[in-house]
Structure 1
């Protein structure tokens, strides 16, 4: 008997009890749907987190915080290190920044704010993806760039501090600066401590550019970029490298140190695939590094465990459905005993009889898997579409942008269908074995 004949025979027999067949396929489809939808939550959250990490340059950057020498002493990054980083194969650019070791106050008219201030190397910053939303890059020593949200932090100087902010910690609109800051001259105030007294120096600077908003909506950028010349004036005023206001002890560097060091260094690779190789090389050279790729490996491991767990739990539903398949196949063997007897009487191979019943259980499993997959995709779409509406209308909460609660990749579909087929085949295995052991004479007398 050919495979085509076996399949035709199976379909003819399955039509004899359509209701039982329908219920068995329905149970299998429900089990497969449950498996896919449950596992899709893990895949959806994983995709959301990975996508969030890969939205900007973070995925191709390596933070470098310093290095150790032969005596295991910490050393800051210098120009020699920067040149070495730039010479490494597959490195796109290297950004470096020097922080002002205090938080200067910036004043315009009757408004002021404190802001983190540093010197940046703009050619490498631009190459790494830094952009302006307004204005241009500084060209003169007294020109500066400010963060995208710098203006929002300018508060009225005459107001009491406890009245400035609302319950959420945001500056109240009536105390916020409402004018345009681009092209305006603003006073930068720095301090130093001398003989126990605070001394203030003011440096007028002009805002010529405003940085583009950070890629993530919740991030705020209040920083200020100054020129190396202004940084040198701050160091000369304070007498300390980096412009620290406090007197330094004998072990700390003063402003007469000639070698420039950097507080904030990032190496950008040409592509994601090069990150691991570059990071390993830098670590071998005793640099302290951090890359989002390392974090992503841990995230992937955690989600892999989570997805395996969810698939395992979902498989339990299919195992429950397999009880129905086992019952269906057992009843089929009993009802078709005369047919089996006739097949044996005319010389049918027991293996052929076994294959017929395994084919039937596989067919039931395949139909259930296909129906369950289609339903699972529909449920996944509905969940992703309806959940934001439910949160907004029922709980008065906004769904965080970019979150995907359910995601069904092709790999999950293939895994689920494979599990469904394996479970259904094993469910029909014992009834199929029983069919091969039926006695011909008893079968003809319907005494099975």
Structure 2
């Protein structure tokens, strides 16, 4: 009996019992939809958390915290360490930053701002993906870049703090700096105590560039980037490394010794994601403690693998329950088609062919149900993502994060569901199919089974 004839025979028999077959397919479709939608919650939350973790950081970025010496003590990284890091295979670039050890005071006309001041290596920052939203990169020693939100730090110096801010802590609109700060002359003031008296030094600078806006709405970048030449000028005035202030009011102030070529923050950027793990292992082997977002993602992926596996397992139970309907349908089919089975046996059909026909029918029902369930699950998933934030807002009065995905269906999830459904339905139809092969020809012809 040819495969086409077997398919035709199955379809004809299914048409004879449309209601029962339809209900069985519906039960299977519901089981599949339940599995996919349930598991999609795990996939959706996983996707949201991964995007949250990686949104403001490059996945190829590795933070190097320092170098461990023979006594397992952390040592600051120097130019020698940077050269070693740049020489590691698949390293794209190494950024390094030094921090001024006092808050810089910056003035533009009547406006002033307090900001963290950083000295960085511009070429490596550019290779790592640093971008400007406005202006250009510094060329001269007295040219600087500022963070995207530095302008928000500027406030009138002659107005008291009580009058400057709203109740929410925001600067009042009338006191905000209205002009562009690009190409503006700005004065940087640093201080030091000499013989118990505070002395200050003013350094004229020019803002030539503004950094790119941070990727997250709640983040602000008010950093000021100065040159190495300006840092040396500050150190010459303060007489301390990195412009550290020696406060006479503190009796035993700890004076930190900085190596001229040491760095406060060093980051390694891999040429591609696949290289991050290898570089991290190389750093660990050579006593450079490090951290990358890939380490965090590994832990997240392991946790959600367990969660998603559990959800798929629970969803599979729904398909197994639906398979009881398939078992019942196929058992009834064997009983009702006893004369047909007898005729097939009488004309020479082998038990293998008869079993194949009934297994084909059960798998046919399962696959149709799985396809319908998959289509329905996509609709439910979209509905959940649209309506659930609204329901949570109405019921609990809380606003869900804009980027939170409650349900996400990757292409492999329906494939997993269809495979599970296929094997479960074939298994549920196996016993009735085996029973069909044992039907006695003479009894079948008399419609007795």
TM-score (ref. length: structure 1): 0.90
CA deviation after TM superposition for structure 1 residue 353, in Å: 2.2
Correspondence 1:253 to 2:257 = yes
Other structure's SS at 1:287 match: coil
CA distance in structure 1 between the partners assigned to 2:256 and 2:55 by the alignment: 40
Map of 1:87 onto structure 2: 87
Deviates more, 1:362-371 or 1:298-307: 298-307
Q: Are the structure 2 counterparts of residues 398 and 110 from structure 1 closer, same or farther at C-alpha, using a change threshold of 3 Å?
A: farther
The verdict on how the C-alpha distance between 1:251 and 1:161 changes in structure 2, with shifts beyond 3 A counting, is closer
Partner of 1:358: 359
- Mean Cα displacement is larger for which, 24-33 or 391-400? 391-400
Pairing 1:181-192 to 2, within 5 Å after superposition: 181-192=181-192
Q: Does structure 1 residue 15 correspond to structure 2 residue 32?
A: no
Matches within 5 A, 1:134-153: 134-153=134-153
For residue 130 of structure 2, give the secondary structure of its aligned residue in structure 1: coil
CA distance in 2, matches of 1:172, 1:447: 93
Shift of 1:190: 2.8
Aligned to 1:327: 328
- SS of corresponding position for 1:280: helix
Cα offset, 1:16, TM superposition: 0.8
RMSD: 2.8
- More displaced, 356-365 or 100-109? 100-109
Matches within 5 A, 1:170-189: 170-189=170-189
Is 1:434 the counterpart of 2:435? The answer is yes
SS of 1:262 mapped into structure 2: coil
Cα displacement (A) at 1:37: 2.1
| Contact residue 57 and residue 128 of structure 1 kept, 8 A | no
Are the aligned partners of 2:113 and 2:153 in contact in 1 as well (CA < 8 Å)? yes
2:99 matched to 1:105? no
Who is 2:317 aligned against?
A: 316
For the 8 Å contact 2:120–2:225, the answer to whether it is kept is yes
In 1, Cα distance between equivalents of 2:279 and 2:432:
59
Alpha-carbon distance, 1:251 to partner: 7.3
Q: C-alpha deviations, 1:221-254, integer Å up to 9, x for none? A: 1100011122123223333212222368687316
Range moving further from structure 2, 166-175 or 386-395: 386-395
- Shift of residue 383 of structure 1? 4.1
Given that 1:59 and 1:292 are in contact with CA atoms closer than 8 Å, whether structure 2 keeps it comes out as yes
What SS does the aligned partner of 2:289 have? Answer: strand
Give the match for residue 447 of structure 2: 446
For residues 140-169 of structure 1, the C-alpha deviation after alignment (integer angstroms, 9 at most, x for no partner) is 332221100100122333444355444554
> Which residue matches 2:285?
284
Q: How many residues align?
A: 445
Map of 1:42 onto structure 2? 42
Aligned: 1:223 with 2:223: yes
Aligned position for 1:371: 372
Residues 346-376 of structure 1 show CA distances to partners (whole Å, capped at 9, x for unaligned) of 4433332222211111000011111112222
Aligned to 1:267: 268
Q: 1:57·1:129 contact (CA, 8 Å) conserved in 2?
A: no
Cα distance in 2, alignment partners of residues 156 and 4 from structure 1: 86
Contact persistence 1:29–1:371 (CA under 8 A): yes
Instruction: Report if aligned partners of 2:56, 2:216 keep a CA contact under 8 Å in 1.
Output: no
Indicate how the Cα distance of structure 1 residues 442 and 82 shifts in structure 2: closer, same or farther if over 3 A, else same: same
Measured in 2, the distance between the counterparts of 1:250 and 1:223 equals 26
TM-score normalised to structure 2 length: 0.89
Counterpart Cα distance in 1 of 2:307 and 2:169: 37
Deviations 1:124-144 (A, max 9, x none): 111211121222222333222
Verify the 8 A CA contact 2:54 2:293 in the aligned structure 1.
no
What does residue 77 of structure 1 align with? 77
Match of residue 339 from structure 1: 340
